[in-house]
Amino acid sequence: MSRTIIEHATASETFNKDESYVDWHDETLWFVRQKRDKSSKLLPEWEQLREAASTIKNYVLSHMDTLLVSFEQKAKENGIHIHWATDAAEHNEIVLGLLRQHNIGKMVKSKSMLTEECHMNEFLSKSGIEVIDTDLGERIVQLRNEPPSHIVLPAIHLKKKDIGDLFHEHLGTEAGATDPQYLTEAARQHLRDKFLTRRAALTGVNFAIAETGGFVVATNEGNADMGAHLADIHIASMGFEKIIPKQEHLGVFLRLLARSATGQPVTTYSSHFKKPREGQEMHIIIVDNGRTTQLGRPDFRNSLKCIRCGACMNTCPVYRRSGGHSYHNAVAGPIGSILAPNLDMTKNADLPFASTLCGSCSNVCPVKIDIHDQLYKWRQVLVKGGHVPQSKELGIKAMSVILSQPRFYQWSGRLGRSVMRTIPFVVNNGLNPWFKQRDMPEPPKESFRDWYVRNRKA
Amino acid sequence: MNSRDKMLQQIKLNMPSETILPEKIRFDSHFESTESKFVETLSAIYTEVIVVKDLNELKAKADELYASVTNRATTIPFLNSWADFSLNIADPHELELIEIAILEAEFGVAENGAVWISERHLPHRALPFITQNLAFVIPRNAIVNNMHDAYERLSDTTGWGCFIAGPSKTADIEQSLVIGAHGARSMVIFLIEDYPVL
């Protein structure tokens, strides 16, 4: 869905216009974060699991070539066709080629953020192929002609009334109906028909196992399996970083994934594909699309350890109050903000600034990616590379002048406090970006430094 | 150079220096009773666990629970007289009509309520997903504590298998949990004490 990019800060401003809506969005995601907390605290070994997962993923980064070759060999032995795609365009062409080869014009798809990243649906539809997203949340946003706003909860930005209206228009549900049970049932009927009539299914890949050549796809709805087991041809698309060395490592990752994502002990379905079923063709497309470049950036390569649980989004105070679409990238939130600049520094220069650097993302990450450190480091790379608008650069320079001169800093603080006390309208207005969607705080009477100096004397 | 070699060459060039795999990748779970934990976990995900003594009791239970249902399928030969839908078909699309399937499965996992089922026990991969309602039968002593134990036990060499934990569900509409997204609308697990075949 190519549309003109609106900067994160501007998009957030629009998102924040309806205060009760933003509060609802914020609380909904915080609730998911709390479920993650409860679930993780039931396991005394939680921190050790995170450490194990992180160490396995570090191993993967440093043995990527041999693991991929071993995976390819095993998968081929198992009768799976392997394709390699250096970029999004090549990935999309491979999918189109396979569909054309089988004379297939319609395909069902389960959740795959990679195909969002590659803008595959758009490409295929231009070539006359109809793609139906079968995850309920993804189907909802697809009918709205929108990208998902969250990697695990694609329609988390919508209220049930929006979905009721949408289904009334597209699926013929009763006008005004908003009962989730009723709406889900309508989608079930609508999508069952698609599952039963489509000959091709595309799924993502959560984990690909080098040792066995198999791969695991996790869903709660069962849509990946419904699609794959009924189709003549199953295409699975994966970024190459999805590889793990051994099957037993799944014990670590599957214990972490769903607990981090939604607080469930495991997803309803963890499907292990190893061979095509009789008479079926199975294809895996291994995609680069900038990942080798990211692997070569020492400060940022850890982002490739991500298992796409979405915990960093649910916990992020900026994501919760700005919504996934403000990030104008297939993967939103903190992890998206460290992945996106690798894809395009100019387009995505705003994203590493969409953070308070509070570090909550790094604390919840099941594979211990140093997300907030990377956000901070990207800012420096982007400013040095001239990708940041001059206004922001000027602001940073001014701050640097003030912060590097203690006396000037003290004087500025005093000035600020007295201005806020005596002539508050100077800061309490729309020209001050800190005033937007906020009330300015009561200024303290004195700074900590003043207090300290005074009390130390006494 | 083709895309494969290009990618692998670039990866080799850009990889960080070697690190090693962690020594500790499995942890023991301690439950007072593995079975009670299994039952408790499953009840939280809308799944009833029923203990039966043997195949006769299983059949009696199946008759009782699904008396009014037509299109009943099973992979358990002893229940053939209970079933009215033959799985002896070529095209999995025909499975669409099935209302209830009672399927033999391998083992369960106490920490998350998952049951492992694979091609070893299935004539059609689509079966546990396409059926409207699902029941698994596993030996009462075939429950492991956690996923580490599960993978240790998993000697499966078939082409496909799945951990299934409860009925299909979604919360994509305002985070309201709805059971029965695309897969089974309900799930029952029979723990059988005396089961000769498994």
Give the pLDDT confidence score for residue A2 in this predicted structure. Answer: 47
Q: How far apart are CA A109 and CA A242, in angstroms?
A: 19
- Nearest alpha carbon to residue B65 among B78, B77, B52: B52
Domain ranges of chain A: 8-292, 405-457
Q: Which of B146, B152, B103 is nearest to B127 (CA)?
A: B103
Query: Does B6 reside within a domain?
Result: no
A338-369: pLDDT as tens digits: 999 999 999 999 999 999 999 999 999 999 99
Closest partner CB to B96 (pick from A55, A86, A196): A196
Q: How far is B77 from chain A (nearest CA, A)?
A: 23
Q: Domain of residue B87: give its range.
A: 32-192
Comparing A2 with B131, which gets the higher pLDDT? B131
- For testing the chain A interface, which of B174, B177, B185, B187 should be mutated: the one with the most A CBs within 10 Å? B174
Q: Which residues of A127-164 are buried (b: 16+ CB within 10 A; e: fewer)?
A: eebebbbbbbbbbbbbbeebbbbbbbbbbbbbebebbb
pTM of the predicted model over 0.90 = yes
* B49 in any annotated domain: yes
ipTM: 0.97
* CATH code assigned at B88: 3.40.50.10420
Q: Give the per-residue pLDDT at A424.
A: 81
How many residue pairs from chains A and B have C-beta atoms closer than 8 A? Answer: 242
CA distance B70 to chain A (A): 20
Residue B3 lies inside a defined structural domain of this protein = no
Six-digit token string for A318: 């900026």
Lowest mean pLDDT segment, chosen from A262-266, A405-409, B95-99, B153-157: B153-157
pLDDT of A1 reads 43
> Quick check: B156 pLDDT over 70?
no
pLDDT in tens, B32-46: 999 999 999 999 999
Q: Are A388 and A349 spatial neighbours (Cβ–Cβ below 8 Å)?
A: yes
Q: Report how many helices (DSSP H) and strands (DSSP E) chain B contains, helices first.
A: 5, 11
Looking at A7-73, which runs of residues are DSSP E strands? none
CB < 8 Å to A190, chain B: none
Nearest to A353, CA basis, from A371, A335, A373, A378: A378
CATH of A8-292, one of 3.20.19.10, 3.40.50.2300, 3.40.50.410, 3.40.50.10420: 3.40.50.10420
Assess if residue B185 is contained within a domain.
yes
Three-state secondary structure call for residue A390 = helix
**SS3 (DSSP) at A72:** helix
Confirm whether B12 is domain-assigned. Answer: no
Interface-testing mutation among B1, B7, B152, with chain A (most A C-beta atoms within 10 A)? B7
pLDDT level of residue A441 (50, 70, 90 thresholds): confident
**Strand partners of residue B136:** B103, B189
Chain-chain contact of B178 with A268 (C-beta, under 8 angstroms): no
The answer to whether residue B22 is domain-embedded is: no
Q: Which residue of B has its CA nearest to A191?
A: B182
Handedness of CA A431, A395, A375, A335 (dihedral sign): positive
Contact (CB<8Å) B147/A250? yes
